[in-house]
Structure 1
Amino acid sequence: MSLLAPDSPRLPSRALHGILCVEIGTLFFVAQDAMMKSMLGLYPIWTLIFVRSVMSVLVLLPLVILLGGPHRVLTPLWPLHLARAALFTAGFSLFYAAFPFMGLAEVTTIFFAAPLITALMAALWLKETIGPHRLGALIVGFAGVLIAMNPTSDAFTWIAILPLLCAVTYAASQIIARKIGDRESTLTVGLYTLGFSGLMILPMGWGFNQIFTVAPEFRHLGWSLPHALPGDLPALALLGLLGMGGYILLSRAYQVANASLVAPFDYTYLPIATLVAYLLWDEVPGLNTLFGMALITGGGLYLGYRELRASRDTDQPAAVAETLFIPGSPLPQQIPDEEEIR
């Protein structure tokens, strides 16, 4: 029996659903990272990540409790959430540590090895197929990453490795999201991952400062208890909300769609971040960064184009609970399968 009336519009596929989540989440993350770069002169990394975590918990915990249904505070999947939080916390600490030394375009271009690594990890551990077209696109993308890093240049420093390490941890966290899959709602995934990251970041920052002597040029890695100037509270709150919104949207994307399908659409971050960096700080990326960015973006978009042509709803993961659960309804709102729509 059809779920839709004959004249009802066809619902979007899970592939389109995932891509839209990635694109909107990308805009959130560009705004968040621009704020991070601006505020690192005032607050250490540990404080900014902690504030983002606190804001996320203040929003997500009441929602999870109020909406109920598929959303839960206590879950047997907490070890997977804990693993995601550890990867998230460590990886993005490395990512933001590079901000004072590199332009936003340079840092993010190197980080965008992550979608490529995600596709490879998905092939290895989720058994997702990589055909010749996808393989070629991945090779082009990785070549772009190497060109952007330019490791043979005299200007190359070890700082450039930090966003690449973040890319590895980010890719691994997205594979864990697929492992969680339809067993968890997006709100619960966000609550646990972002909440745990807040618990981890302060001991991580304190421990780092016990092991290493922080030089003046690395003052953004120095240790101090979280604090905020009263005039900065609105900006810190906005920073937390932007990070939470972007993270939830990307988590949602990787839950409802094939990981190697939605990953290339992260690439739209690059031109947007480059434009924002130019407008805010007059940053002009070097030719190697622009060339590498072009290869990464071109390879990623071609990969996405091939996947969109080949994708069918029946080949993608089962639908999961929507982010919002309608009060009073006994079931979560889900995306119907293609056969149900017909």
Structure 2
Amino acid sequence: MSTDAHPSSSPAGPHLASNALQGILCVELGMLFFVGQDALMKILLDTYPIWILLFVRSLISVAVLVPLILCLGGPHRLLTPLWPVHMLRGALFATGFALFYAAFPFMGLAEVSTIFFSAPLIVAVLAALWLRERIGRHRIVALVAGFAGVVIAINPTADGMSWISLLPLGCAVFYAVGQVLARKIGDRETSLTLGLHTLFFAGLFILPMGFLVNLVLPQVAAHPHLAMRPPATGIGEWPLIVLLGLAGMLGYIFLSRAYQVASASLVAPFDYSYLPIATLLGYIVWNEVPPMATLWGMGLIVGSGLYLGYRELRAMRHLDDPALVGESVFPPTAVPITQIHADENHVI
């Protein structure tokens, strides 16, 4: 954002620019950790079921975050009146990423990730419906193009197309709702508190979810990564599982922080940095070459997402009173949600 657009009448401009930069940086760090996490998950799914891996990931994250919050003290907290929102986010993340990882043995990393990355587009739609951010014609065109990319990536006309392609799309929907919830929480929680409670509740839900899925759909037991069974007795891979938990924890913290301090429409497009890294890693480690439909869909999705971010930044440069953003380093306050979105009526 240009900091000299209103040199005298907009003292909040430099602060807004600082928050925007912080949000972008947090997204990029989060994506790096998530790429590493997903690569580890893809490796470990050969031995362990999804439910166990997601539970252990949450357990390790909570084991690290609880003493960290106790040492740091306020404004971080273990008990919060916002626990129902955190519980909802935990349920959304547990369900969404169970769907996401369920597709790993059947699809390449780039294919699964491309479909999942319709999430920033869904975030933009939810921001308009839920946070009352108005969408101008430019954003409508970008959203239509992006969702066209999702359809191309799923490739419903292909002979080999199956319901598996819908799993990462379902994850994208749950993920987007969870991130908009983080934006609604705003400055009333710190990123550590947000990460702790989301991961705690996700871990609380994931094992019962695994038992329920295996009970209702007994045919899933034919796939080892979906069967509810005890983990392997050996300890050779447990260091990788610990690393998986740490990577997931750091990724969630950085990403939640990004959505707290900056506009959802601004930071969401930077999630796309995951895709080229994941595609390259899939090729190097597993020799995965994405189908042409996936590459075309990826191009449309990334292009539309980046254009949404460009329009958001362009609109922000012309605002006389930049939007307030959640600042999680301050003690939690009872700021009404309507005060957190001062620019909700501008059209881009």
TM norm. shorter chain > 0.5 = yes
Deviation, 1:153, is 1.5
Structure 2 counterpart of 1:119, from 124, 131, 144: 124
Structure 2 counterpart of 1:274, from 273, 279, 282: 279
Contact 1:214-1:222 within 8 A present in 2 as well: no
Uncovered stretches (5+) of structure 1, i.e. residues with no partner: 1-9, 326-330, 333-342
Deviation, 1:147, is 0.5
Question: SS of 1:214's equivalent?
Answer: helix
Uncovered stretches (5+) of structure 2, i.e. residues with no partner: 1-13, 333-348
Most deviating of 240-249 and 129-138:
129-138
CA distance in 1, matches of 2:325, 2:140: 26
Structure 2 counterpart of 1:34, from 36, 39, 59: 39
Please give the TM-score of this superposition, normalised by the length of structure 1: 0.88
Contact 1:258-1:317 within 8 A present in 2 as well: no
Contact 1:44-1:219 within 8 A present in 2 as well: yes
Superposed, 1:84-99 pairs within 5 Å as: 84-99=89-104
Structure 1 counterpart of 2:322, from 306, 309, 315: 315
Instruction: Look up the match of 2:181.
Output: 176
CA distance in 2, matches of 1:228, 1:199: 23
CA distance in 2, matches of 1:163, 1:216: 20
Q: Is residue 56 from structure 1 mapped to residue 54 from structure 2 by the alignment?
A: no
Please give the TM-score of this superposition, normalised by the length of structure 2: 0.87
Distance 1:25 1:76, change over 3 A: same
Q: Give aligned-pair identity as a percent.
A: 63
Deviation, 1:208, is 1.3
CA distance in 2, matches of 1:211, 1:137: 40
Structure 2 counterpart of 1:209, from 207, 214, 217: 214
Deviation, 1:215, is 4.8
CA distance in 2, matches of 1:228, 1:53: 20
Q: Given residue 36 of structure 2, which amino acid in structure 1 is its aligned partner?
A: A
Deviation, 1:316, is 2.9
Instruction: Look up the match of 1:191.
Output: 196
Instruction: Look up the match of 2:26.
Output: 21
Q: Is residue 237 from structure 1 mapped to residue 237 from structure 2 by the alignment?
A: no
Contact 2:33-2:250 within 8 A present in 1 as well: yes
CA distance in 1, matches of 2:120, 2:328: 24
CA distance in 1, matches of 2:323, 2:85: 22
Deviation, 1:35, is 0.8
CA distance in 1, matches of 2:176, 2:233: 32
Structure 2 counterpart of 1:68, from 49, 66, 73: 73
Contact 2:263-2:325 within 8 A present in 1 as well: no
Instruction: Look up the match of 1:260.
Output: 265
Q: Given residue 322 of structure 2, which amino acid in structure 1 is its aligned partner?
A: D
CA distance in 2, matches of 1:294, 1:318: 31
CA distance in 1, matches of 2:251, 2:280: 19
